[in-house]
Structures are given as C-alpha cells and as structure tokens.
C-alpha cells in the first residue's frame, strides 16, 4: 500500500514521542516520512539521548503497524485530518503550538468554528454556576451558535447538555484518545455529542487521560471559538488557562461575576479585576456574530409568506424555538402554530429536531 505524507504524519502522531525528540527531528530537517524511511543506525545516532522514544519509533516503523493503526481508527469510527488537508480547521493553523493531527468522532463543520463559543468553568460548580451556565448556553444555542467545551464534569458537561437539549450543535475537545469517553460518567453524553456535533482530540486513540493533557487541549477549545466565557473558576482553575490562551489568540473573553466570598468565583472575579469584561448579558457575546445574523436575515425572501408565517420566521430568525415558545411569544393558538410549522417544514423553509424548530439554511 502506498502512503501519502499525511499518513506518515498520523503514524508519527500515534507514537506520542516527547517534545525533545520532536525538536531533534525538526532541527535535522526530517519529516514524518523521513523518520519512517530512515536507516536504523541514523535514527540511533540522532536519538541516542532519547532511548525510550527511539525504541518506540524503531518498533513501530513498519507498514504492518501503520495498517493496524488505521484499522483501529476505522473500528472506533474515528476520522482524522492533518494540517496539510484543506478541511483542517483554519483557526487552528495560527495558534501557538498548533496540532498537526486532529482526530474527529462525528462531524466538525466550518460553521461550528465560525459560530463557536466556548463555555468553561469549574468541575465542582456551585448551584449559581450551574444555573448561569444553563441560562447562557441556552440563549446562545437558541441563537444557532455552536457550544464548545471540554466534556469535563461540572460546567463543561452542563454546557454540552444544554446545547443538545436546545437542538444546537456542540463540540467537545478531549484530553485523551477517542476510543473512550472520559470521564466515564459522560459516556452517554459523549455519544450524543458525536451524533449532533463532534468529539475531537489531538491525542491518538488508546491515549490515556493524563493530567498534563487537559491544560494542553485548552488552546484548541479557545482556538475553535470566536469567544470564550468563563462561568466559574477557582484561583488555580484550568479554565483560567483557557481564558489566557483565548486572549493570546486575539479572541473575545468574558468572565461571569460571582460572590466575592465564593471559592468558585475567585478566579473569574480576578479575571474581571485584571481587565476581562464581566458578562452581564448574552447580547455582549452576540454582537460578535452580527454578520452571521445579518446574512441569515438576507437569505429569506419574506414576500413569499403571509403575515402569520413571517411572524413565525422572524422569531426563528433570532434562534431555534419550540412550538410552546412560539405560542407564548406570539400569543396565537397552539393548534394554528403547529399547523403552520408543519406546512413550513414540508416546504423546506424550516426543520425540526427533538421538538425544536429552526430555519433551514
């Protein structure tokens, strides 16, 4: 079987060699393919100080290993892209230490990145933090934005769940290989995310959720988002790393203010003290997506619809809505709204998923 340069990149990524080894290889002008095809003695000379990585490379420098690895990816329904592919997320090409390979379970859309907002926070969230997270995620999701987070316990999980409940897309960036969901208590949630968004990781399958992986993956969470919201964070929370990385990447960052005596808000309150804008209303975030909403409005020819239909479409233009919400907003009868929604869906103007109606683009 003939392999392309991208295949060799994926092979090299699967080896999980250390940064020092990568630096030696890069300094000597070697590509992943060069490493695979290099003479054993040459590699021993270059990596004499990196015995563990050298042994790993020599043991796996075979077509049989490469084929088995790709077969394993297929078995777990994991796709992958590398930085030389056209469909590699452009936003990640320009961050510090960009990943060379991304593993994807589900589907990562261009619109997920163009409309991505990351919501992060404490694993041990307070009741206040849980409530605020639901409110923020719900409003953003119903505006058609993609919620990006890390699938951790606490705020991350609530953000993902809320997005799914609203019929919105959501993306989870993991700190382990995609052969398993971590934490295990989020296995069902992870499966739902892969069906309605994407699970992604820079780590090859079978990679354990090692502690240092999580702060490392935070640059990808912020990199895939136009804005980052820190809901709650203790003074040494990993969420503060995400906020710092987002700011360094030139992204918008917001912090939810909390009680000054709350351990879970010390980090967010400190961010505000250091100059990060406090998030007081979701409209602060939505202003960064005005171009998307403007384009969405221009794409509808309202002259084709009657007054009743225009009223419903205008409401869904602001974000996905349930039939119950449309009934409350318009004060029209539930039966007439359901009838009209069915007609608009049959015409292909709107689409419905899990009881939530949205404009069909």
CATH of the domain at 329: 1.10.10.10
Can you give the pLDDT at residue 299? 53
Say yes or no to pLDDT of 298 above 70.
Answer: no
Percent of the chain with pLDDT over 90: 78
- Both 116 and 190 in one domain: the answer is yes
What pLDDT is attached to residue 99? Answer: 97
- Check whether residue 197 and residue 129 sit in a common domain: yes
Domain extent for 115: 105-288
Query: Is 191 among the domain residues?
Result: yes
Total number of domains constituting the chain:
3
> Is residue 96 a part of any domain in this protein?
no
pLDDT band at 119; cut points 50, 70, 90: very high
Choosing from 71, 95, 127, the residue where a domain stops is 71
Domain assignment present for 64: yes
Let me know whether 353 and 246 are in one domain. no
Q: Are residues 13 and 44 in the same domain?
A: yes
- 98 part of a folded domain: no
Q: Is 99 a domain residue?
A: no
> Are residues 211 and 181 part of one domain?
yes
Q: Per the omega criterion (within 30 degrees of 0), is the bond before 183 cis?
A: yes
Share of the chain above pLDDT 70, in %: 96
Confidence of residue 361 (pLDDT cuts 50, 70, 90): low
Confirm if 173 and 201 have CB atoms less than 8 A apart.
yes
Question: Would you say 289 and 116 are in contact if contact means Cβ atoms under 8 Å apart?
Answer: no
Please identify, among 45, 71, 97, the residue that sits at the C-terminal boundary of a domain.
71
What is the structure's pLDDT at 348? 86
The stretches of the chain forming alpha helices (DSSP H) are 5-14, 19-27, 32-37, 40-46, 51-60, 63-75, 110-114, 127-142, 155-165, 187-195, 213-223, 238-248, 266-273, 283-286, 290-298, 307-317, 323-330, 334-346
Q: Tokens 């029209």, residue?
A: 332
Same-domain status, 187 and 153: yes
Mind listing the pLDDT tens digit for each residue in 25-45?
A: 999 999 999 999 999 999 999
- Regarding whether 353 and 316 lie in a shared domain, the answer is yes
Confidence of residue 332 (pLDDT cuts 50, 70, 90): confident
319/242 same-domain check: no
| CATH classification of the domain holding 219 | 3.40.50.450
Q: Does 172 reside within a domain?
A: yes
Q: 9-29, pLDDT tens digit by residue?
A: 999 999 999 999 999 999 999
Burial class (CB in 10 A: 0-12, 13-18, 19+), 110: exposed
Average pLDDT, the chain: 92
Instruction: Among 288, 321, 343, give the residue marking a domain's end.
Output: 288
One domain, residues 173 and 281 = yes
Say what the pLDDT of residue 310 is.
Answer: 83
Segment 269-289, tens digit of pLDDT:
999 999 999 999 999 999 888
194-253: per-residue pLDDT in tens? Answer: 999 999 999 999 999 999 999 999 999 999 999 999 999 999 899 999 999 999 999 999
Same domain, 43 and 118: no
Does residue 13 lie within any of the structural domains? Answer: yes
Cross-strand partners of 199 = 105, 172
- 146 with 31, same domain: the answer is no
Residues 67 and 211 in one domain: no
**Is position 79 within any domain?**
no
């Amino acid at each position: 079987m003939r392999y392309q340069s991208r295949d060799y990149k994926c092979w090299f990524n699967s080896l999980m060699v250390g940064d020092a080894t990568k630096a030696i290889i890069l300094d000597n002008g070697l590509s992943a393919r060069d490493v695979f095809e290099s003479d054993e003695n040459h590699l021993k000379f270059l990596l004499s100080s990196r015995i563990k990585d050298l042994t790993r490379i020599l043991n796996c420098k075979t077509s049989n290993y490469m084929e088995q690895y790709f077969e394993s990816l297929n078995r777990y329904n994991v796709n992958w892209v590398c930085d030389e592919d056209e469909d590699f997320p452009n936003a990640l090409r320009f961050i510090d230490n960009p990943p060379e390979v991304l593993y994807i379970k589900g589907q990562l859309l261009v619109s997920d990145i163009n409309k991505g907002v990351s919501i992060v926070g404490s694993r041990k969230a307070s009741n206040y933090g849980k409530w605020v997270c639901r409110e923020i995620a719900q409003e953003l999701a119903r505006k058609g934005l993609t919620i990006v987070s890390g699938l951790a316990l606490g705020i991350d999980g609530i953000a993902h769940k809320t997005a799914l409940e609203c019929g919105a897309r959501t993306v989870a960036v993991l700190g382990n290989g995609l052969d398993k969901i971590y934490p295990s208590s989020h296995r069902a949630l992870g499966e739902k995310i892969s069906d309605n968004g994407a699970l992604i990781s820079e780590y090859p399958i079978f990679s354990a959720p090692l502690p240092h992986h999580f702060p490392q993956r935070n640059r990808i969470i912020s990199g895939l988002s136009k804005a980052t919201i820190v809901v709650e964070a203790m003074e040494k929370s990993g969420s503060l790393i995400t906020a710092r990385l987002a700011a360094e990447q030139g992204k918008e960052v917001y912090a939810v203010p909390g009680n000054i005596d709350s351990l879970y808000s010390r980090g967010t309150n400190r961010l505000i003290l250091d100059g990060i804008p406090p998030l007081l209303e979701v409209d602060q975030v939505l202003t960064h997506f005005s171009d998307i909403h403007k384009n969405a409005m221009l794409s509808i020819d309202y002259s084709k619809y009657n007054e009743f239909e225009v009223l419903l479409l205008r409401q869904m233009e602001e974000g996905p809505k349930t039939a119950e919400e449309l009934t409350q907003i318009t004060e029209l009868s539930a039966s007439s709204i359901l009838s009209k929604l069915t007609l608009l869906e049959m015409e292909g103007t709107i689409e419905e998923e899990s009881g939530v109606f949205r404009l069909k683009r």
